[in-house]
Amino acid sequence: MTTVIEKNSFAEPIAVLPEDRVDKSNWNLFRRADGRLVLRCEDGKGETTETPVQVACCFPWSHPFEFISLRDDKGHEQKLIPNLQQIAAPARELIENELAQRNFMPRITGIEAITDEIELFHWKVITNVGARHFLTRRSDHPRKLVNGDVLIKDVSNDLYLIPNPKSLDAQSLKLLWVYLD
């Protein structure tokens, strides 16, 4: 049962960003006919692999366009992009497109009512993508993001962002006041 590992992996400090993963020269992205985003990589010996990937943000709230991870369907990272601005336009647009879909979230622009439903709060809001009713748990506090935006999670785990809550109209602000710091 006891096999000695040949190389002790703890002897060397672990690189925070493996350099080989950020290299952009030998890969590109394209949209396949089935709608998937596919990563095409060349390994330098003329071998090409094509992997359908999903994009994930490492810091979706504070740095949405940095450290974008491209992962296969099993969740293995294929590529880490430190900064979206540093890559060429076609690939960047594809990723931006994908991110826009993935990170979709209604932005609340006005609050019509927040009513107490015993264990729940019933919100009636106007968002940038239309009117919406939703319920939040009483115990779920809205989360304040570093930039001051407020993030609300409803019972179904849908997210709603209130960008710069102070800029809401007086009536909405009054209703929201309970949640503001």
Partner 1 sequence: MTKNLLQTYFKQAQELPPAVQEAFARAAPDETIRVYALSDLDGNQRFSERWLVLGENHLVLVEPSGEFLNGHTAWKTQALALRDLGKFELLEGLSSSRLNVVNASNELVASVQYTRRQAPAVGNLQFVAEQVRKRLLENAAPPELADDFDPATEYRDAVLKAVKEAKATLAMPKIGVMLRLLSYLKPHKKPVAIGLALAVLLTALQLLPPYLTKVLVDDILRPVESGRITDASFWLWVVIGSLAAVWSISEFISFIRLRIMALTGEKISKQLREDLYRHMQKLSLSFFSSRTTGSLITRVSSDTDRLWDFITFGLIEMVVSVLQIIGVAAALFLQDWSLAILVLVPLPIMTAMFYWHGQKLQVLYLRIWRKWSAMTGVLSDVIPGIRVVKAFAQEQHEVKRFSEKNNALETEAEILHRQWTRFWPTVVMLMHVCSLIVWAVGAPRVLRYALTNGAEGMPLGVFIAFTGYMWMFWAPVQHLGMMSRTVNRVSTSASRVFEVLDTVPNIVNKPEAKPIEPLQGHVQFENVTFTYDGVRNVLKGVTFEVQPGEMIGLVGPSGGGKTTLINLICRFYDVKDGGVKIDGVDVRDQELAGMRRQIGVVLQEPYLFHGTIAENIAYGSANATLKEIIAAARAANAHEFICGFPDGYETIVGERGQTLSGGERQRISIARAILHNPRILILDEATSSVDTETEKKIQEALQRLVAGRTTFAIAHRLSTLSIADRLFVMEDGKLVEQGTHEELLAKPDGVYAKLHRTQAELHALIAV
Chain residues in the site for partner 1 (CB under 8 A): 1-5, 32-36, 54, 60, 100-106, 116-120, 122, 127, 129-135, 137, 141, 154-160, 177-179, 181
- Edge-first strand listing for the sheet containing 130-137: 108-117, 120-127, 130-137
Select 36 or 92, whichever has its Cβ closest to partner 1: 36
Residue 87 or residue 134: which is nearer to partner 1 going by CB? 134
Residue 135 Cβ, how far from partner 1 at the closest point, in Å? Answer: 6
Secondary element (H or E) of residue 90: helix 89-102
Please name every residue paired with 42 in a beta bridge, in sequence order, or none if there are none. 48
CB 136 to partner 1: min, Å = 9
Rounded Cα distance between 67 and 49, Å, is 23
Which residue from 95, 100, 102 is spatially nearest to 29, judged by alpha carbons? 95
Q: Closer CB to partner 1, residue 43 or residue 181?
A: 181
Smallest gap from Cβ 106 to partner 1, in A, equals 8
> Which C-beta is closer to partner 1: that of 38 or that of 80?
38
Nearer to partner 1, 44 or 130 (CB): 130
* CB of 146 vs partner 1, minimal distance in Å: 14
**Residue-wise DSSP of 103-168:** T---BEEEEEEEEEETTEEEEEEEETTEEEEEEEETT-PPEEPTTS-EEEE-TT--EEEESSGGGS
CB of 54 to partner 1, least distance (A): 6
